[in-house]
């Protein structure tokens, strides 16, 4: 049988059992809102339940306490980093652990060991500065880079965190004692090393200049002998207007120009550095004045040599003293040795010092050491221990937002899967009918 032909006037009517895929089209935003409304209970439940769970867990967790100690200490960023490295060093944390065990705070020592393994010290003991250091931007301007490097914070704060007020109070006493009594010894040691280096440089300079000064004395003495021989010469003694030449580039002659033509005068001119490169304008002084000038110069160089010799002997004594002080520091840094004990040791050394110059140097060093210790004095003696906020509302809100987005995404995926499952039988029937 021939199939009926399809024409524009009489189109083939769709079969009743062939479903239409899209009866009409609507904006995607409306379909998405309708999808969210249909899945509203799933979305709300998936967002509210985790937020409530987080809030309940945080509410049941024990409250933590913190104490803050503020120090008025200007610090550059490099100095701040060095300070943290010293405090968190293995040897310093061992000292703190020993004191904590003596105070019966063994549980806190275990926490300290845990954060040491995780390198997360800020969870228990935290350093902060105010104002904060500026961020180092990539700049080619040397002035800007220099300003950033020279910036110094005004305040340094130390925060000690614990599980109870008693624990925070006990740990704070140990930490502040360590910061104010132990850590200054590192600054004292560095300043002592710098002083030793400067003394060595000064002593080396004296040793290097000693040979040159000795040659200058010999040269001036030889010059003086020739000048005196020239003055005592019978031929030259008759010449009352004899003068010496010196190079003066801008000042006109103060005395009449007299040319030296005698052999002895020529030798003297050569000795004083005369040559063909001298200019024609000269100043002239009497020979007796030049003899006095040579004598004065000899005395000056000899006094310089004597003064350098005295300084050199003083430097040797101070070097010996500072080396003994440095050895005392180096041997005490690994123990619980405090800055106050070191100051007491300096007082003993001062009483035993016999030389007045060395004693004055030691007194000056004691004052400098006391200033370094005073820098680590805190602003308040008894800071308040207050409970830390658990952040229940904040963390619950963040959890709600995160899981709300996850639930909405899951709802879209579920709706897409359900639509594909409903569409599969219809596509199968359509294919069989065709």
Nearest to 66 by CA among 114, 128, 110: 128
| Beta-carbon contacts of residue 195 (< 8 Å; ≥ 6 apart) | 322, 365
Nearest to 188 by CA among 350, 373, 323: 373
* The pLDDT of residue 18 is above 50: no
Phi then psi for residue 20, to 5 deg, are: -90, 135
Nearest to 257 by CA among 240, 243, 274, 271: 243
- Answer positive or negative: Cα dihedral of 196, 197, 200, 201: negative
Please report the pLDDT score of residue 301 as a whole number.
Answer: 85
> Do residues 133 and 145 touch, judged by C-beta distance below 8 A?
no
* CA dist., res. 36 & res. 21, Å (int): 22
> Do residues 66 and 385 touch, judged by C-beta distance below 8 A?
yes
CA angle in degrees (0–180, nearest 5) for 156-159-162: 170
Please report the pLDDT score of residue 3 as a whole number.
Answer: 46
Q: Which of 39-48, 94-103, 126-135 is predicted with the least confidence, judged by mean pLDDT?
A: 39-48
Q: What value does the mean pLDDT of the chain take?
A: 77
* CA dist., res. 352 & res. 183, Å (int): 27
Q: Which of 13-17, 221-225, 407-411 is predicted with the least confidence, judged by mean pLDDT?
A: 13-17
Please report the pLDDT score of residue 424 as a whole number.
Answer: 63
* Angle of the 184-231 helix axis to the 263-271 helix axis, nearest 10: 170
pLDDT tier for residue 334 given thresholds of 50, 70 and 90: confident
Rounded to an integer, the average pLDDT of 225-249 is 58
Residue 25: enclosing H or E segment and its boundaries? none
* The pLDDT of residue 267 is above 60: no
Please report the pLDDT score of residue 259 as a whole number.
Answer: 43
* CA dist., res. 339 & res. 327, Å (int): 15
Chain centroid, CA 53 distance in Å: 44
> Do residues 376 and 86 touch, judged by C-beta distance below 8 A?
no
User: What 3-state DSSP class applies to 411?
Assistant: helix
* The pLDDT of residue 59 is above 70: yes
pLDDT tens sequence across 192-220: 999 999 999 999 998 888 888 888 888 88
Q: Please tell me whether the peptide bond between 131 and the residue prior to it is cis, using omega within 30 degrees of 0.
A: yes
> Do residues 223 and 291 touch, judged by C-beta distance below 8 A?
no
Neighbours of 90 (CB within 10 A): 7
Cα dist from 50 to 42, 58, 177, whole Å: 13, 12, 44
Give 243 or 98, the one with higher predicted confidence: 98
Chain centroid, CA 92 distance in Å: 19
Tally of residues, the chain:
434
* Angle of the 287-332 helix axis to the 339-352 helix axis, nearest 10: 130
Q: Which of 65-79, 98-112, 250-264 is predicted with the least confidence, judged by mean pLDDT?
A: 250-264
* The pLDDT of residue 409 is above 50: yes
Q: In what order do the strands lie in the sheet with 65-71?
A: 125-130, 155-162, 65-71, 385-387
Spell out the domain ranges in the chain.
Answer: 36-61+390-418, 66-182, 194-337
Please report the pLDDT score of residue 253 as a whole number.
Answer: 44
Q: What percent of the chain is modeled with pLDDT above 70? A: 76
pLDDT tier for residue 6 given thresholds of 50, 70 and 90: very low
């Amino acid at each position: 049988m021939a199939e009926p032909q399809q024409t524009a006037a009489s189109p083939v009517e769709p079969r009743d059992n062939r479903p239409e895929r899209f009866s009409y089209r609507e904006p995607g935003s409306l379909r998405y809102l309708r999808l969210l409304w249909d899945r509203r209970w799933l979305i709300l439940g998936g967002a509210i339940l985790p937020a409530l769970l987080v809030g309940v867990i945080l509410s049941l967790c024990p409250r933590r306490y913190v104490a803050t100690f503020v120090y008025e200490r200007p610090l550059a960023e490099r100095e701040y980093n060095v300070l943290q490295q010293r405090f968190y060093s293995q040897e310093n944390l061992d000292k703190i652990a020993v004191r904590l065990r003596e105070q019966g705070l063994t549980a806190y020592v275990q926490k300290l060991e845990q954060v040491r393994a995780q390198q997360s010290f800020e969870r228990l003991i935290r350093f902060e500065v105010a104002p904060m250091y500026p961020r180092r931007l990539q700049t080619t301007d040397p002035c800007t880079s220099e300003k950033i490097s020279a910036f110094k914070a005004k305040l340094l704060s130390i925060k000690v965190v614990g599980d109870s007020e008693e624990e925070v109070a006990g740990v704070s006493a140990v930490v502040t004692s360590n910061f104010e009594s132990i850590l200054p010894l590192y600054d004292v040691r560095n300043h002592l090393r710098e002083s030793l280096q400067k003394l060595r440089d000064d002593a080396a300079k004296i040793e290097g200049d000693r040979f040159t000064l000795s040659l200058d004395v010999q040269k001036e003495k030889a010059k003086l002998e020739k000048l005196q021989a020239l003055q005592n010469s019978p031929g030259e003694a008759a010449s009352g207007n004899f003068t010496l030449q010196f190079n003066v580039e801008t000042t006109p002659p103060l005395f009449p120009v007299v040319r030296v033509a005698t052999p002895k005068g020529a030798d003297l001119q050569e000795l004083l550095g005369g040559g063909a490169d001298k200019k024609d304008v000269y100043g002239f002084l009497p020979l007796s004045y030049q003899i006095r000038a040579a004598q004065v110069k000899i005395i000056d160089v000899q006094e310089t040599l004597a003064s350098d010799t005295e300084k050199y002997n003083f430097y040797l004594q101070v070097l010996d003293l500072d080396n003994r002080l440095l050895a005392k520091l180096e041997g005490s840094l690994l123990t619980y040795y405090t800055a106050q004990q070191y100051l007491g040791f300096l007082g003993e050394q001062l009483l035993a010092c016999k030389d007045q110059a060395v004693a004055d140097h030691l007194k000056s060093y004691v004052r400098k050491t006391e200033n370094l210790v005073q820098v680590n004095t805190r602003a308040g003696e008894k800071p308040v221990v207050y409970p830390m906020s658990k952040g229940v509302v904040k963390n619950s809100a963040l959890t709600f937002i995160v899981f709300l987005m996850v639930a909405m995404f899951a709802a879209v995926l579920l709706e897409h899967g359900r639509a594909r499952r409903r569409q599969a039988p219809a596509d199968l029937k359509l294919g069989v009918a065709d």
